[in-house]
A and B are shown apart, each in its own frame.
Chain A
Amino acid sequence: MKQTLQTAGATAPAADADNVAALHGVDFAIDDKPIFRGLDIAIRRGEVTAIMGPSGTGKTTLLRLITGQLRADVGRVVVDGRDVAGLSRRELYAMRRRIGMLFQNGALLTDLDVFENVAFPLREHARLPERLLRSIVLTKLQAVGLRGAARLKPQQLSGGMARRVALARAIVMDPHLLLYDEPFAGLDPISMGVVMRLIRSLNDALGISSVVVTHDVREISQIADSSYILSGGQVVASGTPAELREHPSPVVHQFMDGLADGPVPFHYPAPDYVAQLLDRSEAA
């Protein structure tokens, strides 16, 4: 059900049929500060796509553009073949029901327990008999390994557990696209391993597409099918993790290998060191 949209100066590339989502020439700025310039990203169906880059490159903003919470200033954001900017409120909400998003700290609703948190989308959108709802929720919790924690409150969960519950909630409506915002941040190695396994297995078992925004290079390289590295608001490299490891660009090299100094400098811009030291001693 692909719709051809007449947007000024844009052609619908044939590749869009393979893409569950794509950004074409997107410019975006917040309060006159440019975040993206001419961004082109394609999320291929059925794959785990990693979006990487140094902190502050606007990776979360990218996810918000895909969900339609933010609007691109220039360019098109296409999800399921439709331009997000052209959707009516109802269509936008319908689209969002088919997308699941995992927030950095889980974003569980604090006044509901684990079970109710996972059940939340179902209760809001579907009128299901209670027994069916219960089965679905328990199944999803089982998939993330937390069926036994169904009656705990979010405050009682560790960071890793909270994130897994949030994941269960994200998949409860059987979305076809999952967005992960920094899923590995602040986790211990075991939890990280769990999350990695879940991302990959869910993607394959449920036949969906996943977008993982992260800067944990080592972890994501083990499970991603294709990756993008953003820097300075643009794509500086893309390809499979193996390709990126061999990439010639020093920016990519510094990022992938975690080097302290390189194109992204160690020193914050400052005046001449000796001069500043001498100035101070003379003033004293």
Chain B
Amino acid sequence: MTSLLAEMFGNTRRFLERLGALAWFSLQVLRQAPAAALRPRLVVEQVYHSGALSLVIIMTCGLFIGMVIGLQGYDLLHRIGSEDALGVGAALSLLKELGPVVTALLFAGRAGTALASELGLMRATDQLSAMEVMAVDPMQRVVVPRFLGGLVAMPLLTAIFIAVALFGVQLVGVQFFGIDQGQFWSQMRGAVEPGDVYEGLIKGLVFGMSCSLIAVFEGYTADPTAEGVARATTRTVVISAVVTLVLDYILTALML
């Protein structure tokens, strides 16, 4: 019994230690962000790696989620005779919740793991140490550009995801089930406010910040071994997912 308590206590203490390290690390990254922005070449490269290379998965998943929403939504609304409201429901749920959250989870899986494993590998092969010895600050040269790349990419990916998903919804609803196209869009326009769009984009930005920070942190502080890198990659996805959903609740509560 006491050993269980001791283990829990140890876990809690380790958790708090890690949390503190993450907070401190994030502060460093944010503090150095403006300086790193002075080297746009590095940031552009990272926007490419985190954003452009994630396009395929984002658009594919967006399309299919949109189509599923179309199917399920139509089925549901059909029972109460309000199929025309499919556009409204889909747009609002995608904009405010599904879009930012699913994009963040996909981002963590594709770009987050890439960032973490890349940095972890650089740590394990002494590349970061070599940079230090060459009087190049690895934070500036390697970490912060990757953070900024993810930060820029996420809101854009979120918008693309939502747009493609809406296309998927209308593909199923209008093209397939025959909902009136005019009704579909006009009802949507009637109910969706610019504020809803901004809500979604703000969430995308916040999630981008959190997922990118977690990814670079895990990679940078990974154990310099093969298992260490693998563990860092796994932790990135798990922690990003949990943090995203927690932040989602907080943001939704704040913005409502």
Contacts and interface: CB of A to CB of B under 8 A. Distances in A.
Chains A and B bind each other: yes
Interface of A: 67, 69, 93-94, 96-97, 99, 101, 103-105, 107-110, 120-121, 124-125, 166, 169
A174 B140 CA distance: 24
B141 interface: yes
B130 A124 contact: no
Interface stretch (B121-129, B165-173, B228-236): B121-129
Interface in B85-134: 121-122, 125-127, 129-130, 132-134
6 contacts: A69-B129, A69-B132, A96-B133, A99-B133, A110-B127, A166-B130
A107 B130 contact: yes
Contact of B133 (A101, A105, A124, A125): A101
Contacts of A104: 126
Contacts, number: 49
A105 B134 contact: no
A125 B136 CA distance: 8
B250 interface: no
Contacts of B127: 107-110
A65 to B, nearest CB: 12
The 8 closest A-B pairs by CB, nearest first: A107-B130, A107-B126, A96-B135, A93-B135, A101-B133, A97-B135, A103-B126, A121-B134
Contacts of B129: 69, 103, 107
B191 to A, nearest CB: 47
A119 B216 CA distance: 26
Interface residues of B, number: 14
B90 to A, nearest CB: 41
Nearest to A125: B135
Interface centre among B125, B130, B141 (most CB of A within 10 A): B130
A67 B133 CA distance: 7
Given A107-B125, A124-B141, A101 B136 contact: no
Contacts of A105: 125-126
A120 B126 contact: no
B72 to A, nearest CB: 43
B67 to A, nearest CB: 38
A101 B135 contact: no
Contacts of A108: 127
Interface centre among A94, A105, A107 (most CB of B within 10 A): A107
Contact of A69 (B122, B133, B136): B133
A109 B122 CA distance: 8
Contacts of B130: 101, 103, 107, 109, 166
Contacts of B141: 124
Nearest to A124: B136
Given A69-B132, A96-B135, A107-B129, 14 more contacts: A69-B129, A93-B137, A96-B133, A101-B130, A103-B130, A105-B125, A107-B125, A107-B130, A108-B127, A109-B127, A121-B135, A124-B135, A166-B130, A169-B134
Nearest to A166: B130
Contacts of A166: 130
A110 B117 CA distance: 13
B217 to A, nearest CB: 20
Contacts of A96: 132-135
Nearest to B141: A124
Interface in B119-162: 121-122, 125-127, 129-130, 132-137, 141
A93 B136 CA distance: 8
A39 to B, nearest CB: 21
Given A104-B126, A105-B126, A107-B126, A120 B133 contact: no
Contact of B135 (A94, A107, A109, A169): A94
A272 B28 CA distance: 55
A137 to B, nearest CB: 15
Contacts of A67: 132-133
A250 to B, nearest CB: 35
A88 to B, nearest CB: 13
Nearest to B45: A111
Nearest to A93: B135
Contacts of B136: 120-121, 124-125
Contacts of B133: 67, 69, 96, 99, 101
A107 B122 CA distance: 8
A94 B134 CA distance: 10
A101 to B, nearest CB: 5
Nearest to A64: B129
A120 B42 CA distance: 14
A93 B141 CA distance: 14
A121 B133 CA distance: 10
B127 to A, nearest CB: 5
